[in-house]
Amino acid sequence: MRVCVGTTVHHPEDARITHRQIRALLDSGHEVTFVAPFSHCNVTPRQGIRAVDVPRAVGLRRGKALRAAASALRTAARDADLLLVHDIELLLALPRRRPPTVWDVHEDTIAALGAKTYLPGPVRSVLPPLIRAIESRAERRVHLMLAEESYRARFPGAHPVVPDHTYVPPAPPAPPGDNRIVHVGHISLARGAAEMVEVARRLRPYGIRLDLIGPADAEVRPMLRDAQRAGLLDWFGYVPNNHALRMAEGALAGLSLLHDVPNHRHSMPTKIIEYMARGVPVVTTPLPMAASLVERAGCGTIVPFGEVGEVADAVVRSVLRLREDAERRAEMGARGHAEALNHYHWPAVAGEFVALLERWAQAPDTVPALSPSRTVPA
């Protein structure tokens, strides 16, 4: 099977797209053409794929990226058996003549608008009905694959869920250490950037350092750079997922300090599963799915939502308790690893994912595409 995979929004080393889905397709002997912003992200395409470079869609100016993606997909999909896109924008750039097409729904697009601080107020009010119209039309015209069970509420049809699991080492990693905490993943105000800087400040006298591993929104980068210059933390920027998780191993705790906003409220933070997979105790805010998993597995502690100082206070207390009790943190790490291996190991579902695409590739699909130049009726 020849699969064309496309994104202009996500990083070419995105964990779900590249390290899970594309790897699963390659491991099954399929051919992959990957349309992605390699140059923008300074990424060298991995061996085994046919790479097509396009601009990255960033902020409000996305027209150039969308036009380039439309051209690239039109060419790349000519000899493909299946087209798999990962951005809602690419539903506007699909070629009119194309193979069976799949949209992998990564997030609640409307709920995510609240975190896009670059959007002017008037645009925020216009986008929700437009997004609903695009999603409704997509459900009628392409196959949908959901990353979360909670996304089912947005779509009346029955669509398969391909969960965002991770690779879990078969053997338990080394026990957690006592002088370093980590955060893996995107960094923004809504993901606890200010709280983590304050935590780093308060833990410095105890000799405990914070490693931030992931890209950051523009509005928080100055704060992170200042904290790094002050010696409070190390911010590594974007690191490919497999390397980032190896860097997390041996940490005293992994932080997930997401705020209680619509885009986070009903989702499972992937970073929590990744910490568990690497034997790292979790410290999380009480989002329902995150709190339920951590409590059930006994693999971490839950801190309340609140003002920056209040959250930082609770995190510092949790971290210091963990440092004082090596046996407790080792047990938490071991329980988390066992839970992740038994229930969240990506290879356990990778075969089902590939089989799903193979079935869809055999289905006729002559549905016309949305045109980038047309306005979708609200």
Of how many residues is the chain composed?
Answer: 378
Tell which residue, 311, 299, 222, has the closest CA to residue 258.
311
Topology classification of domain 2-165+347-361? Rossmann fold (3.40.50)
Q: Is 355 exposed, middle or buried (0-12, 13-18, 19+ CB in 10 A)?
A: exposed
Give the per-residue pLDDT at 353: 96
Q: Is residue 124 predicted with pLDDT exceeding 90? A: no
Look up the CATH number of domain 180-343. 3.40.50.2000
- Tens digits of per-residue pLDDT, 169-222? 999 899 999 999 999 999 999 999 999 999 999 999 999 999 999 999 999 999
pLDDT band at 371 (very low <50, low <70, confident <90, very high): very low
Q: What is the pTM of this model?
A: 0.88
Q: For the residues of 324-349, what is the DSSP string, one character each?
A: H-HHHHHHHHHHHHHHHHHH-BTHHH
Q: Is 359 exposed, middle or buried (0-12, 13-18, 19+ CB in 10 A)?
A: exposed
Compute CA 286 distance to the chain's CA centroid, rounded to the nearest angstrom: 19
- Delimit the CATH 3.40.50.2000 region(s) of the chain: 2-165+347-361, 180-343
pLDDT band at 378 (very low <50, low <70, confident <90, very high): very low
Region 271-297: what's the mean pLDDT? 96
Compute CA 211 distance to the chain's CA centroid, rounded to the nearest angstrom: 19
Q: Is residue 375 predicted with pLDDT exceeding 70? A: no
- Tens digits of per-residue pLDDT, 309-344? 999 999 999 999 999 999 999 999 999 999 999 999
Query: SS3 for 42?
Result: coil
Q: Is residue 117 predicted with pLDDT exceeding 70? A: no
pLDDT band at 374 (very low <50, low <70, confident <90, very high): very low
- Tens digits of per-residue pLDDT, 45-73? 988 999 999 998 876 677 888 899 999 99
